[in-house]
Chain A
Amino acid sequence: MISVALTFLGLLFVTFIIARVIPVDPVLAAVGERASADVYAAVRAELGLDLPLYEQFARYLANVFQGDLGQSVLTAKPVLADIARVFPATLELATTATLLGVGLGIPLGVIAAVNRDRWADHVIRVFGLMGYSVPVFWLGLVGLLVFYAELGWVGGPGRLDVFYEGVIESRTGLILVDSLIAGDLEIFSNALRHIVLPAAVLGYFSLAYISRMTRSLMLDQLTQEYITTARIKGLSERRVIWVHALGNVRVPLITVIALSYASLLEGSVLTETVFAWPGLGLYITNSLFAADMNAVLGGTIVVGALFIGINLFSDLLYRLFDPRVR
């Protein structure tokens, strides 16, 4: 726990310093370039920027520990409220994408490993490589052009058609969940149509990573003696591969999936831009361009906390799956 706390403190310190030394004037960002000198001075004092740096940091720390991430200049709302508003969009997208990535990536990785150097392996590896190397931005736009503009199979950019905005009550912020709670299948299906494409684009990226890692982990296992033993025992090939071999790679796979999930939860700026998806990545980037430092710091802290949290969680899963660390 101490290391977690230190990591967190280090993160706060580094982001705070970076936010203060970049050659951008946050006061100017807030008041605009034509403000008079007294307006400028008033806002500078309001933001606490006239205090010495160490005092600014001490104040900031004290506030953070009270759960106060400050006020955003851009939205005129508390940063925490802003994040609570944008994060569900990212969570919904990242979770759907990870489900796709895991659901397809693991089987593809296993198939590639079993059929090593045969055509199925080559096809899957090339497919994976493309997911890695094709820019998400481009893939998103082409996806929109084909599946939305031409074929009309999926919804356009945004989380819902605008006409559905504000129809159902927001309980969790996850539209798929909220619409089910409200029992509104029309909105659920609309939200589903909107999330499919961005989730597929992000899911493809995570699939590429997960399938490659599954393949190499499986290849290690397939040359082990216990596999040969299992085959000699007369177990079916299906059981040998999907139960014995795959069962043994699940522990390292958890790390792979957790890392991939965490990086999606940061919010994918490019995907969110192309799909006008109002998530965390876009929020942090917009804030950065507007020199809205409280929001940037707040966003970074949340991302950091997520990484730490997911790592802790995957450690817990290890214990569940691996008897040696119990």
Chain B
Amino acid sequence: MRRFLQPLLVAAVLLAGLPTSWAETPDDVFVMALQFDDIITLDPAEVFEFSGAEYAANVYDRLITFDTEDMTTLVGGVAESWSLSEDGRSYRFKIREGMRFHSGNPVTAEDAAYSLRRVVRLNKSPAFILTQFGFTPENVIERIRVLDEGTLEIETDRAYAPSFVLNCLTATVGSVVDRTLLEEHETDGDMGHGWLRTHSAGSGPFTLGTWRPNELLILLRHDSYWRGAPAMARVIIRHIAEPATQRLLLEKGDIDIARNLGPEQVEGLRDNPAIRIREAPKGALYYLGLNQKNPILAKPQVRRALRYLVDYDGIAGTILAGRGVVHQAFVPRGFFSALEERPFSFDPAEARRLLAEAGLAEGFSVTMDVRNTAPTIDLAQVLQASFAEAGIRLEIIPGDGKQTLTKYRARNHDIYIGLWGPDYQDPHTNADSFAHNPDNSDDSADKNLAWRNGWEIPELNRVTEAAVLERDAAKRAALYGELQRAVQADSPFVIMFQSVEIIAERQNVRGFVSGPTFDTVFYRNVVK
């Protein structure tokens, strides 16, 4: 045996003698572990995924953006200031002077106009955020116009609430791209789309260094960034799918920040003095969608009873363990006009009374389509137990995310347990999803949440449509309050929790900003 052990020992000794890896990451390099397998494009006119939006927020400047100190206050980005015409339809933006793209080209009103027109013309998934203001490929030249080198004007089809229009411009589609550079890379009139899917053409604090899907993303400092060059020369983002691996790397100091830890990993890190755990509330909501095509779920008493069958505090404390807080209205906390009331608590007796009133004292059987990932699947199991307390026999149908979603969008579910993230930081994004269903026919073009659950709401449609046109901020907030209360009291939606991102970072890291939406995550202030 000794003969075989010898080479092993020699190998072990040799290996131990090799230089050890870095104990700490270098001072001007920020290393992050993040699951970014959702990125399918790097073109801001197409980006609509969580990680993609985060990338765009750090590589591109938008016309206007949110203050990193207070994520409800709008501040200028590429636009230094803006004004609204008398009729409430024309917004005039004064372009900030002296800004440069990564290529060295100056940022002008022409670039800003090109960028917005490009979103409309390419018509990719997030284009509706702009086209909802009446822009079409035919009218963009006329409606999105350059007055002079430093002034851009956009004209909406109706006089919308100004906060609504401006909030939409803070979304990723409001990113300003380098027109000159894209025109060099244009093929077959694609406005550089094919090229930009894997390259960058922005003016933001960082430029794209290396991009390897599902593996590595390296951003490099933009030295002439208008707010001042970031302290970090490089941001290295590694796709680490396994949370336990992320934790090991963080503890070892091979990364500065881990973004996808589960409750087990976080618990294990709480006592580590080198690590700081932070919680950042996000806009995504956990909710149940009750298909109104199912005659039992269409009964108002049943819809109400289910609201009493969720152990809100129990779930927030155990299964979500910091990854969610109880929230029962469709506008997430941190957004304009969010309703913080929570009228429902776990009350099986009340639920049984309501079911008896509906003639279902014996309970009923129902299925729930569940995405087969944590924590959704765990959440479903707890609901199965609490529903049973009122005699409801819940059958869980687990499936891959794409599979359950396909079924949900075909309205073939009974109950769907979902996580819904807002598209941009304005209450209308969720009002339009939860409280607007202008066409409930099976072949409706708009498959929003109210439609998916077959909910006919002519009354609420009118309120939702009025709210986007209300120019008085206080009145607008009141309308959203009314809508949220209506959906909360009786709708096919049982809104339960608002998600919270848990960030684990090394103690020496400061300035990493994670705002309420996925496109308000900023690396530019990071120092070590």
Bits for A104-127, please: 1 = Cβ < 8 Å to B, else 0: 100110010000000010000000
Q: Knowing A31-B125, A36-B445, A286-B37 are in contact, say whether A193-B403 is a contact too (CB < 8 A).
A: no
Q: Smallest CB–CB gap between B44 and chain A, Å?
A: 14
A254 at the interface (CB under 8 A from B): no
Bits for A175-200, please: 1 = Cβ < 8 Å to B, else 0: 00000000000100110110010000
Chain B residues within 8 Å of A111, by CB: 1, 4
Q: Is the CB of B198 within 8 A of A289?
A: no
Q: Is the CB of A161 within 8 A of B254?
A: yes
In the assembled complex, the Cα of A227 lies from the Cα of B197 at a distance in Å of 67
Stretch from A5-13, A212-220, A269-277, A312-320 that touches the partner: A269-277
Q: Is the CB of A37 within 8 A of B248?
A: no
Chain B residues within 8 Å of A107, by CB: 4
Chain B residues within 8 Å of A186, by CB: 19
Q: How many A-B residue pairs have CB under 8 A?
A: 153
Chain A residues within 8 Å of B400, by CB: 24, 289
Q: Is the CB of B19 within 8 A of A189?
A: yes
Q: Smallest CB–CB gap between A268 and chain B, Å?
A: 13
- Number of residues in A with C-beta < 8 Å to the partner? 63
Q: Is the CB of B407 within 8 A of A32?
A: no
Bits for B242-260, please: 1 = Cβ < 8 Å to A, else 0: 1011001101101000000
Q: Knowing A28-B405, A33-B405 are in contact, say whether A149-B15 is a contact too (CB < 8 A).
A: no
In the assembled complex, the Cα of A275 lies from the Cα of B41 at a distance in Å of 25
Q: Knowing A34-B423, A37-B445, A120-B1 are in contact, say whether A276-B40 is a contact too (CB < 8 A).
A: no
Stretch from A50-58, A151-159, A201-209, A244-252 that touches the partner: A151-159
A145 at the interface (CB under 8 A from B): yes
Chain A residues within 8 Å of B407, by CB: 23
Q: Knowing A24-B402, A74-B213, A163-B26 are in contact, say whether A153-B16 is a contact too (CB < 8 A).
A: yes
Bits for B27-52, please: 1 = Cβ < 8 Å to A, else 0: 00101000001001100000011000
Kindly identify which residue among A32, A153, A156, A282 contacts B248, using a CB–CB cutoff of 8 Å.
Answer: A156
**Chain A, residue nearest B444 (CB):** A37
Q: Knowing A23-B406, A37-B445, A144-B248 are in contact, say whether A161-B21 is a contact too (CB < 8 A).
A: yes
Chain A residues within 8 Å of B242, by CB: 141, 273-274, 276
B224 at the interface (CB under 8 A from A): no
Q: Is the CB of B402 within 8 A of A29?
A: yes
Q: Is the CB of B20 within 8 A of A189?
A: no
Q: Is the CB of B214 within 8 A of A154?
A: no
- Please classify how large the interface on chain B is, using the bins under 10, 10 to 19, 20 to 34, 35 or more: 35 or more
Chain A residues within 8 Å of B248, by CB: 144-145, 148-149, 156-157
**Chain B, residue nearest A288 (CB):** B400
Chain B residues within 8 Å of A73, by CB: 40
Q: Is the CB of A153 within 8 A of B406?
A: no
Kindly identify which residue among B1, B239, B403 contacts A276, using a CB–CB cutoff of 8 Å.
Answer: B239
In the assembled complex, the Cα of A21 lies from the Cα of B509 at a distance in Å of 49
Bits for A26-42, please: 1 = Cβ < 8 Å to B, else 0: 00111111111111001
Kindly identify which residue among B26, B124, B423 contacts A39, using a CB–CB cutoff of 8 Å.
Answer: B124
Kindly identify which residue among A25, A29, A85, A193 contacts B15, using a CB–CB cutoff of 8 Å.
Answer: A193
Q: Smallest CB–CB gap between B414 and chain A, Å?
A: 17
In the assembled complex, the Cα of A32 lies from the Cα of B49 at a distance in Å of 8
Q: Is the CB of A74 within 8 A of B19?
A: no
B270 at the interface (CB under 8 A from A): no
B127 at the interface (CB under 8 A from A): yes
Mark out the residues of chain A between 259 and 291 whose CB falls within 8 Å of any chain B CB in the assembled complex: 273-276, 278, 282-283, 286, 289-291
8 residue pairs, one from A and one from B, having the closest CB atoms: A37-B445, A75-B213, A278-B215, A35-B125, A76-B197, A24-B402, A25-B406, A32-B125
Interchain residue pairs with CB less than 8 A apart (22): A24-B400, A24-B402, A24-B403, A34-B126, A36-B127, A38-B123, A38-B445, A73-B40, A75-B213, A154-B15, A156-B248, A161-B254, A273-B241, A273-B242, A276-B245, A278-B212, A278-B215, A278-B239, A282-B214, A283-B214, A286-B214, A289-B400
